[in-house]
Amino acid sequence: MNINRRSIAIMGILLCCIYFFVVIMFVATSSTNWLIVFDIVTMFSGIYFVLLVIVLPFSKDEKIRNTKIAAIIFVTALMIFTNIAHTVNLVSIQNIKDGINIPDYLQIGKTMSYVTSIEYLGWGMFLGLAFLFSSLGIANKRKLKSFKRTLFVCSCLCIIGFLGWLIINENLWYIASMGYGIGTVIICIELLKCDN
């Protein structure tokens, strides 16, 4: 197994565990310090997903080579959008700590704020499309069928969650969270197994 691929898979599982821990701590304490840690972990996660997509076992077939390029473009868009959103949120948090009232439209997690919209576009639509093109570009080998299916399901969850949040009800975003949260752990486990 390619050592880089294995390292990236293990890093992804650890990062997901850290992410879930930080989210639980923030929800339990409502501390702005945990929100700052959440922002930093999420920004690092955006960078991580670019590395994850790059090491996926894409097909060498020239006919579907563009799917890898598309997946990398979309996951890079995720990284850019999430880093913009969380940089704005970090600045907002610092201002809140200084007693400055920040409008809801500039805070992550506030319904239909600009920052939330940018964040959800990255994690819902762009990551969903990155997973979709990754699924289409993975080599058509028998041992990779489950892996391709996992990527496709995670893609659908991300996109459906984003569109559900945008069109129907904000609580449908949690569908996308399953795609990139729990789904990433499954993707990383599958990645560890796919070269065995």
Give residue 170's domain range: 3-194
pLDDT tens, position by position, for the chain (196 residues)?
456 889 999 999 999 999 999 999 999 998 888 988 999 999 999 999 999 999 999 888 877 778 999 999 999 999 999 999 999 888 877 676 667 777 777 777 777 788 888 999 999 999 999 999 999 999 888 888 999 999 999 999 999 999 998 888 888 889 999 999 999 999 999 998 876 5
Indicate the helix (H) or strand (E) that contains 75. Answer: helix 65-97
DSSP per residue over 122-141, as a string? IIIIIHHHHHHHHHHHB---
Q: How many CB atoms lie within 10 A of CB 4?
A: 11
How far is it, in rounded angstroms, from Cα 38 to Cα 41?
5
Q: 3-class secondary structure for 87-124?
A: HHHHHHHHHHHCCCCCCHHHCCCCCCCHHHHHHHHHHH
How far is it, in rounded angstroms, from Cα 97 to Cα 154?
37
Q: What pLDDT score was predicted for residue 67?
A: 93
Number of domains in the chain: 1
Indicate the helix (H) or strand (E) that contains 38. Answer: helix 32-55
Q: What pLDDT score was predicted for residue 77?
A: 97
67: Cα separation from own chain's centroid:
19
Q: What pLDDT score was predicted for residue 196?
A: 54
179: Cα separation from own chain's centroid:
8
Global pTM reads 0.90
Contact assessment for residue 165 and residue 124, using Cβ atoms and an 8 Å cutoff: yes
